[in-house]
Structure 1
Amino acid sequence: MTTDTHGGHGMSLTMKIMIAMGAGIVVGVIFNQINNNFINTQIVAGLFGMIGKMFVNALKMLVVPLVFFSLLGGVTGIGDVRVLGRVGTKSFFLYLATTALAITIAIALASLIGPGKGFDMQGIDTSGVTGREAPTVWSVFANIVPTNPIAAFANGEMLQVIFYTVVLGVAVLMLGAKSEGFIAACSYMNDLMMKVVAIVMHFAPYGVFCLIAKTFAEQGIGLFLPVMAYVITLVAALFIHLFITLPTMLKVLAGLNPLTFMRKMRPAQIFAFSTASSNATIPVTYRSVTERVGVDKSIASFCIPFGATINMDGTAIMQGVATVFLANVYAIDLGLGGYLTVIGMAVLASIGTAGVPGVGLVMLTMVLSQVGLPIEGIAIILGVDRLMDMIRTAVNITGDAVVTSIVAKGEGKIDLDVFNDPDAGIVDDDEVEMPHDHVA
């Protein structure tokens, strides 16, 4: 996957990652068919697992410092606490609205298709799935305030990190001229973190290849057959939200061209697909939204990490489809009240749950226990969840970017020249080449 960077730009990073993804699928399916013990243990679980884990860890390594410094810069850049409150309120309600819309679409589509009717439970091991208590509204909001900011940073508790950073940013604004040196230092640190993002992105094609190849080598295609109706319904609902609902919102509320937007968000969507983690994709989403779409950094630095934490459109869709699927499997009629409970629970759970791989299943246990469905039913969809998780994470981060763009347009903080320029912010190898001359 080398490029010729002499005399002009080489192949774009997006292109390389798409090639890596395609190659990963092919290699993974072949290895799954071969099913050799050495390949499974040493290459798939060993080499691919190691490189994939290193890549995801490298992305996660960037998240907290990038969010902290960019958000501090964003708050001080907005300069007015009232504007900050307006941006926060708008984005919060837009995020809740997209999540509620997403799960409503999911339940409606699943009720129409009816996956799980006449499902054969034979051969499904439903032991070993443990439930988790649903949080109350009060506890979700109480936990936004950290008892120990250092612990919140260390554990990557994004809502707590955002809360602390916003409070700190407001205090910085209140100190006025005294804060100039600190603001300049934060601006430098933000630039520095973006350069580290560029270095990590340089290795993205290899990380993506290993992650995708490992997933397909371990999961194979055979897992999908028993739950094909569930998979088809879920993918259909995700695609309706991704290609119809979100672009319509963008066009109606911001007047932006959805096709241009989708083209520019492709790198972030591919990253989200390969890592299955909204939080790990924050650096890439932030970069795409600011450098490709043209959103001002003061808005993006607030809305993107906030969205990655509370906006779970794809996960909400999974919960809606899975609930209808399992209700059909167990022949339990939830009724309108049950479905309204699922919608409310999914929206609430999305606020209080981290954007990490597999979190959708944790949230699903809360939803199922709330509407009286057997939690053991999760075992039926466990096998295909990793691949479904990849698609729904791509939907999650697209929702984050759409809301960020809508808020930015409303605040007059989007550069339309950048948005309309097809080459704006394209990443290639030249960005991370090391300087040849040493400065004395």
Structure 2
Amino acid sequence: MDNIPSSPGKFKMEKGPYFHRRWQHSSFTKFTFWSILFVGIIFFLFFRTPSSFSSDTSRRSLRTYNYGGSAWEKKVRSSARVTSKNGVTVLVTGAAGFVGTHTSIALKQRGDGVLGLDNFNDYYDPSLKRGRQALLEHNGVFIVEGDINDATLLKKLFEVVSFTHVMHLAAQAGVRYAMENPGSYVHSNIAGFVNLLEVCKNVEPQPAIVWASSSSVYGLNTKVPFSEKDKTDQPASLYAATKKAGEEIAHTYNHIYGLSLTGLRFFTVYGPWGRPDMAYFFFTKDILKGNSISIFEAPNHGTVARDFTYIDDIVRGCLGALDTAEKSTGSGGKKRGPAQLRVFNLGNTSPVPVTELVSILERLLKVKAKRNVMKMPRNGDVQFTHANISYAKKEFGYKPTTDLETGLKNFVRWYLNYYSVAATAE
């Protein structure tokens, strides 16, 4: 799966003019000039409008969030309070995202302390994220609205709560959108990840980190099923390249600073509260509206298939990875001993053709789809995904149990209920 909700995009500081002149006036004139210049710089730095800092104000400008104060800290501490004997405290980034929401609730329900962090960006409809936020609040999880690139905020959170673990799920998702806004992927998936690791390496004690990689890192590989031992040096999209870069960055911070890091390669996650940019989601929407849907086929009429993985199975994998994550070994930003470094496939092991996905939706919705079969475009999509999950099974007993028809039945039930309620509210 291309995982879930993330950070804003490109951020470019505009450079001020560079003045180079020779002055031959009195010392008083020079003093006056430099005084005026200094005041001008101060004014420039402190009174510029936030929008002038962004090179993509239409979608990905950085925002200023309000946080801090006694009332805010009380909410943070309350949300992160452990209620079970062996509970842990977890910071979940991307908590208002699809996987983030379900994982946060599962952690909270078993007695762990959970605090969410999300920037509620508009890659897809923010109202769905707000709906997830309401669901989280109902389950006792508070979401801090902020950006993973905000080091000051991250440091503040670790000052208020000594997190034992970080579940890092914030990222810019989507394979195709990378062709429209590549900077948002670098900003979130690389710069944001590095910023988080920089903060984590310096806190005491260092937390163990579980983070979302992606099955997309397998790229153009043709050997199936995909194994963690396979090479991943042929990404088919920028999204995949940023996730692969994240795995290399994780290795570096593990090696130098002793951070315990576990990467999870999600395989096409689906289910209730899912992402609207995923095929099963917008297929459902278009079928109900009577719109045609585009179904891709590979060259020579080849089948396009995905290892669809139900959200509950993914959550169990996330919790299993977190529960078996060892403590980080660094202190004071320095490595004190060998630290755990792992990467796991979390898939369903049963690839299903996209045409079969559509057939299941037709039966569940009782509506015939208007199919438009077309060749797969060269936009980063791959023909198939198939997970070898033997490593995750060995390490923490990962075993998916939900077949596609059962999972889609649950999704359709949620979709019809959620959007009928939303339509009534409008």
TM interval, short-chain normalised: under 0.3
More contact order relative to length (CA 8 Å, sep ≥ 6) = 1
Structure having the higher Rg: 2
Q: Name the TM-score, length of structure 2 as normaliser.
A: 0.24
TM-score (normalizing by structure 1): 0.23
Tell me which protein shows more helix as a share of its residues: 1
